[in-house]
Amino acid sequence: MSYHPSSARTRARGRDLRGFCNTVTTGLVKGKETRTRLSRKDVLDAAAELVRRHGPRSLTMRGLAAELGTAVTSIYWHVGNRESLLDALVERTVADLGEIRPVGRTPAQRVVSVARALRRQLLDHPHLVAMVHERGLTERMFLPAQRSLVHEVHEAGLRGARAADAVRSVQVHVVGHVLVERNRERAPVQRPAEEEPWTKDTAEQDGALARALAGPLDPEALFTVSVKALVTGLLGPGAMTVGGGPYPH
Protein backbone atom coordinates (compact mmCIF):
# COMPACT_ATOMS: atom_id res chain seq x y z
CA MET A 1 0.00 0.00 0.00
CA SER A 2 2.82 2.37 0.80
CA TYR A 3 6.59 2.16 1.02
CA HIS A 4 6.16 1.83 4.73
CA PRO A 5 8.65 -0.89 5.74
CA SER A 6 6.34 -2.21 8.39
CA SER A 7 4.38 -3.74 5.55
CA ALA A 8 7.06 -6.37 5.95
CA ARG A 9 4.68 -7.97 8.38
CA THR A 10 2.65 -9.17 5.42
CA ARG A 11 5.74 -10.64 3.83
CA ALA A 12 7.12 -13.93 5.01
CA ARG A 13 8.76 -13.30 8.34
CA GLY A 14 12.19 -12.86 6.93
CA ARG A 15 15.21 -10.88 7.90
CA ASP A 16 14.90 -7.24 8.67
CA LEU A 17 15.89 -5.63 5.41
CA ARG A 18 16.77 -2.31 6.91
CA GLY A 19 18.38 -1.82 10.25
CA PHE A 20 21.84 -1.50 8.80
CA CYS A 21 21.68 2.22 9.18
CA ASN A 22 21.92 2.08 12.93
CA THR A 23 21.91 4.86 15.41
CA VAL A 24 23.91 7.88 14.41
CA THR A 25 25.37 9.20 17.59
CA THR A 26 26.00 12.90 17.73
CA GLY A 27 26.74 13.57 21.34
CA LEU A 28 25.95 12.92 24.93
CA VAL A 29 23.25 14.32 27.13
CA LYS A 30 23.51 13.31 30.76
CA GLY A 31 25.30 10.13 29.77
CA LYS A 32 22.63 9.15 27.29
CA GLU A 33 23.22 8.98 23.60
CA THR A 34 21.51 11.51 21.46
CA ARG A 35 20.13 10.14 18.25
CA THR A 36 19.75 12.05 15.07
CA ARG A 37 17.92 9.16 13.51
CA LEU A 38 15.91 6.40 15.01
CA SER A 39 16.52 2.82 13.89
CA ARG A 40 14.36 -0.23 14.18
CA LYS A 41 16.96 -1.67 16.51
CA ASP A 42 16.68 1.34 18.81
CA VAL A 43 12.97 0.75 19.10
CA LEU A 44 13.37 -2.95 19.80
CA ASP A 45 16.12 -2.36 22.35
CA ALA A 46 14.12 0.19 24.28
CA ALA A 47 11.01 -1.96 24.11
CA ALA A 48 12.94 -5.02 25.29
CA GLU A 49 14.25 -3.10 28.27
CA LEU A 50 10.80 -1.88 29.24
CA VAL A 51 9.38 -5.38 28.96
CA ARG A 52 12.27 -6.86 30.90
CA ARG A 53 11.72 -4.45 33.76
CA HIS A 54 7.97 -4.22 34.03
CA GLY A 55 6.43 -6.83 31.78
CA PRO A 56 4.68 -6.59 28.42
CA ARG A 57 1.56 -4.95 29.79
CA SER A 58 3.60 -1.94 30.76
CA LEU A 59 4.73 -1.41 27.20
CA THR A 60 2.66 1.37 25.65
CA MET A 61 3.47 3.00 22.37
CA ARG A 62 3.29 6.41 23.97
CA GLY A 63 5.50 5.42 26.86
CA LEU A 64 8.00 3.90 24.48
CA ALA A 65 8.05 7.05 22.40
CA ALA A 66 8.69 9.12 25.50
CA GLU A 67 11.54 6.79 26.45
CA LEU A 68 13.04 7.24 23.00
CA GLY A 69 12.36 10.95 22.87
CA THR A 70 10.46 10.77 19.62
CA ALA A 71 6.91 11.16 18.47
CA VAL A 72 4.68 8.14 18.86
CA THR A 73 4.13 7.99 15.17
CA SER A 74 7.81 7.48 14.41
CA ILE A 75 7.66 4.14 16.13
CA TYR A 76 4.88 3.11 13.83
CA TRP A 77 7.05 3.80 10.85
CA HIS A 78 9.72 1.43 12.14
CA VAL A 79 7.74 -1.45 13.53
CA GLY A 80 4.25 -1.16 12.07
CA ASN A 81 2.23 -1.51 15.23
CA ARG A 82 2.34 -2.73 18.76
CA GLU A 83 1.50 -6.29 17.88
CA SER A 84 4.34 -6.76 15.42
CA LEU A 85 6.68 -4.95 17.77
CA LEU A 86 6.00 -7.60 20.37
CA ASP A 87 6.31 -10.29 17.71
CA ALA A 88 9.75 -9.03 16.80
CA LEU A 89 10.75 -8.89 20.45
CA VAL A 90 9.73 -12.48 21.02
CA GLU A 91 11.48 -13.57 17.86
CA ARG A 92 14.71 -11.95 18.95
CA THR A 93 14.69 -13.35 22.45
CA VAL A 94 13.85 -16.85 21.37
CA ALA A 95 16.65 -16.75 18.83
CA ASP A 96 19.05 -15.81 21.62
CA LEU A 97 18.27 -18.89 23.65
CA GLY A 98 21.20 -21.22 23.13
CA GLU A 99 21.15 -24.93 22.57
CA ILE A 100 21.30 -27.15 25.63
CA ARG A 101 24.04 -29.66 26.38
CA PRO A 102 22.95 -32.90 28.06
CA VAL A 103 24.79 -34.06 31.17
CA GLY A 104 24.76 -37.46 32.84
CA ARG A 105 25.74 -41.08 32.40
CA THR A 106 22.55 -42.72 31.12
CA PRO A 107 20.26 -41.43 28.38
CA ALA A 108 17.52 -41.03 30.98
CA GLN A 109 19.72 -38.89 33.18
CA ARG A 110 20.72 -36.80 30.18
CA VAL A 111 17.11 -36.29 29.13
CA VAL A 112 16.29 -35.15 32.65
CA SER A 113 19.25 -32.78 32.60
CA VAL A 114 18.02 -31.27 29.34
CA ALA A 115 14.55 -30.82 30.79
CA ARG A 116 15.92 -29.08 33.85
CA ALA A 117 18.16 -26.84 31.78
CA LEU A 118 15.30 -25.88 29.50
CA ARG A 119 13.16 -25.04 32.49
CA ARG A 120 15.95 -22.87 33.89
CA GLN A 121 16.32 -21.04 30.59
CA LEU A 122 12.65 -20.30 30.41
CA LEU A 123 12.40 -19.17 34.01
CA ASP A 124 15.33 -16.85 33.36
CA HIS A 125 13.15 -14.93 30.91
CA PRO A 126 9.99 -14.65 32.96
CA HIS A 127 8.10 -12.35 30.64
CA LEU A 128 9.17 -14.18 27.54
CA VAL A 129 7.30 -17.30 28.49
CA ALA A 130 4.02 -15.46 28.84
CA MET A 131 4.58 -13.50 25.64
CA VAL A 132 5.47 -16.49 23.54
CA HIS A 133 2.51 -18.27 25.04
CA GLU A 134 0.07 -15.45 24.29
CA ARG A 135 1.33 -15.28 20.74
CA GLY A 136 0.62 -18.93 20.14
CA LEU A 137 4.27 -19.70 19.55
CA THR A 138 4.68 -22.21 22.32
CA GLU A 139 6.50 -24.64 20.08
CA ARG A 140 9.20 -22.05 19.70
CA MET A 141 10.08 -22.72 23.30
CA PHE A 142 10.63 -26.33 22.43
CA LEU A 143 13.50 -25.56 20.10
CA PRO A 144 16.54 -25.16 22.34
CA ALA A 145 16.02 -28.65 23.70
CA GLN A 146 14.77 -30.41 20.61
CA ARG A 147 17.99 -31.59 19.02
CA SER A 148 19.46 -32.94 22.24
CA LEU A 149 16.28 -34.71 23.13
CA VAL A 150 16.07 -36.41 19.76
CA HIS A 151 19.60 -37.65 20.17
CA GLU A 152 19.15 -38.96 23.69
CA VAL A 153 15.83 -40.61 23.05
CA HIS A 154 17.32 -42.39 20.10
CA GLU A 155 20.28 -43.36 22.22
CA ALA A 156 17.83 -44.92 24.64
CA GLY A 157 16.58 -47.15 21.88
CA LEU A 158 13.34 -45.46 20.87
CA ARG A 159 12.58 -45.23 17.17
CA GLY A 160 10.16 -43.55 14.79
CA ALA A 161 6.83 -42.25 16.01
CA ARG A 162 7.50 -43.51 19.50
CA ALA A 163 10.71 -41.51 19.71
CA ALA A 164 8.90 -38.41 18.44
CA ASP A 165 6.21 -38.84 21.08
CA ALA A 166 8.82 -39.15 23.79
CA VAL A 167 10.56 -35.96 22.67
CA ARG A 168 7.33 -34.04 22.50
CA SER A 169 6.06 -35.40 25.79
CA VAL A 170 9.10 -34.07 27.57
CA GLN A 171 8.87 -30.74 25.78
CA VAL A 172 5.22 -30.20 26.54
CA HIS A 173 5.74 -31.27 30.12
CA VAL A 174 8.54 -28.78 30.66
CA VAL A 175 6.82 -25.86 29.00
CA GLY A 176 3.52 -26.65 30.66
CA HIS A 177 5.16 -26.94 34.03
CA VAL A 178 6.87 -23.60 33.59
CA LEU A 179 3.60 -21.98 32.58
CA VAL A 180 1.93 -23.27 35.72
CA GLU A 181 4.88 -22.22 37.83
CA ARG A 182 5.12 -18.74 36.40
CA ASN A 183 1.48 -18.37 37.15
CA ARG A 184 1.90 -19.29 40.78
CA GLU A 185 4.58 -16.65 41.17
CA ARG A 186 2.20 -13.98 40.07
CA ALA A 187 -0.31 -14.97 42.72
CA PRO A 188 1.87 -16.21 45.56
CA VAL A 189 -1.05 -16.01 47.95
CA GLN A 190 -3.06 -18.80 46.44
CA ARG A 191 -6.32 -18.33 48.21
CA PRO A 192 -6.08 -20.83 51.00
CA ALA A 193 -8.40 -23.62 49.99
CA GLU A 194 -11.80 -22.40 51.04
CA GLU A 195 -12.82 -25.89 50.23
CA GLU A 196 -11.79 -27.58 53.41
CA PRO A 197 -8.03 -27.88 53.50
CA TRP A 198 -6.85 -31.45 53.72
CA THR A 199 -7.07 -33.08 57.10
CA LYS A 200 -6.11 -36.53 58.20
CA ASP A 201 -9.74 -37.55 57.92
CA THR A 202 -10.21 -36.48 54.33
CA ALA A 203 -6.80 -37.71 53.20
CA GLU A 204 -7.17 -41.43 53.54
CA GLN A 205 -6.13 -41.24 57.21
CA ASP A 206 -2.65 -40.29 56.05
CA GLY A 207 -1.46 -37.42 58.21
CA ALA A 208 1.76 -36.83 56.33
CA LEU A 209 -0.14 -36.71 53.06
CA ALA A 210 -2.61 -34.22 54.49
CA ARG A 211 0.18 -31.96 55.72
CA ALA A 212 2.00 -32.15 52.41
CA LEU A 213 -1.11 -31.23 50.43
CA ALA A 214 -2.04 -28.40 52.77
CA GLY A 215 1.47 -27.03 52.82
CA PRO A 216 3.22 -24.93 50.19
CA LEU A 217 4.52 -26.36 46.95
CA ASP A 218 8.20 -26.50 46.03
CA PRO A 219 8.11 -26.13 42.26
CA GLU A 220 11.71 -27.11 41.68
CA ALA A 221 11.38 -30.32 43.67
CA LEU A 222 8.05 -31.16 42.10
CA PHE A 223 9.49 -30.61 38.66
CA THR A 224 12.33 -32.98 39.37
CA VAL A 225 10.02 -35.67 40.66
CA SER A 226 7.61 -35.43 37.77
CA VAL A 227 10.15 -35.24 35.00
CA LYS A 228 12.02 -38.23 36.38
CA ALA A 229 8.80 -40.19 36.53
CA LEU A 230 7.87 -39.14 33.03
CA VAL A 231 11.23 -40.11 31.61
CA THR A 232 11.13 -43.41 33.43
CA GLY A 233 7.77 -44.13 31.89
CA LEU A 234 8.86 -43.05 28.44
CA LEU A 235 12.20 -44.80 28.24
CA GLY A 236 11.07 -47.95 29.95
CA PRO A 237 11.35 -49.33 33.47
CA GLY A 238 14.75 -49.12 35.05
CA ALA A 239 15.68 -46.04 33.08
CA MET A 240 16.22 -43.89 36.14
CA THR A 241 17.26 -46.54 38.61
CA VAL A 242 20.97 -46.13 38.04
CA GLY A 243 20.98 -42.54 39.16
CA GLY A 244 18.80 -43.24 42.15
CA GLY A 245 15.21 -42.08 42.37
CA PRO A 246 14.04 -38.95 44.13
CA TYR A 247 13.09 -40.90 47.25
CA PRO A 248 15.09 -43.22 49.46
CA HIS A 249 13.27 -46.53 49.54
Partner DNA sequence: ACCTGAACACCGTTCAAGT
187, interface contact from DNA, a second copy, none, CB < 5-8 Å by kind? a second copy
Question: What one-character DSSP code corresponds to residue 199?
Answer: -
How many residues of this chain interact with a second copy, rule: CB under 8 A?
66
Per partner kind, with CB cut-offs from 5 to 8 A, the member of a second copy, DNA, none near residue 59 is DNA
Q: Identify residues 187-206 at the interface with a second copy (CB under 8 A).
A: 187, 190-191, 194-195, 198, 202-204, 206
Which of 173, 126, 125 has the alpha carbon at shortest distance from 145? 173
What residues contact residue 147 under an 8 Å CB cut-off, 6+ apart?
A: 99
Give 181's strand partners.
none
Q: Which long-range contacts (CB under 8 A, 24 or more apart) does 132-137 make?
A: 132/90, 132/94, 133/179, 135/86, 135/87, 135/90, 137/90, 137/94
CB atoms within 10 A of CB 103: 12
With vertex at residue 232, the alpha carbon angle to CA 130 and CA 139, rounded to the nearest 5 degrees, is: 25
- Give the x/- contact pattern for a second copy in 223-242, rule: CB under 8 A: --xx-xxxxxxx--xx-x--
Residues numbered 12-51 forming contacts with a second copy, rule: CB under 8 A: 13
Q: Is 18 in the site for DNA (CB under 7 A)?
A: yes
Compute how many other C-beta atoms are within 10 angstroms of the C-beta atom of residue 155: 15
Please give the residues from 38 up to 97 whose contact with DNA meets the rule CB under 7 A: 38, 59-63, 70-74, 76-78, 81-83
Residue with smaller CB distance to a second copy, 120 or 184: 184
Quick note: the x/- pattern for a second copy over 128-167, rule CB under 8 A, is -----x-xxxxx---x--xx--xx--x----xxxxxxxxx
**What's the rounded Cα separation, in Å, for the pair 101 and 62?**
42
24 binds, among DNA, a second copy, none (CB under 5 to 8 A by kind): none
Contact residues toward a second copy (CB under 8 A) are 13, 133, 135-139, 143, 146-147, 150-151, 154, 159-169, 172-173, 175-180, 183-184, 186-187, 190-191, 194-195, 198, 202-204, 206, 208-209, 212-213, 217, 221-222, 225-226, 228-234, 237-238, 240, 246-247
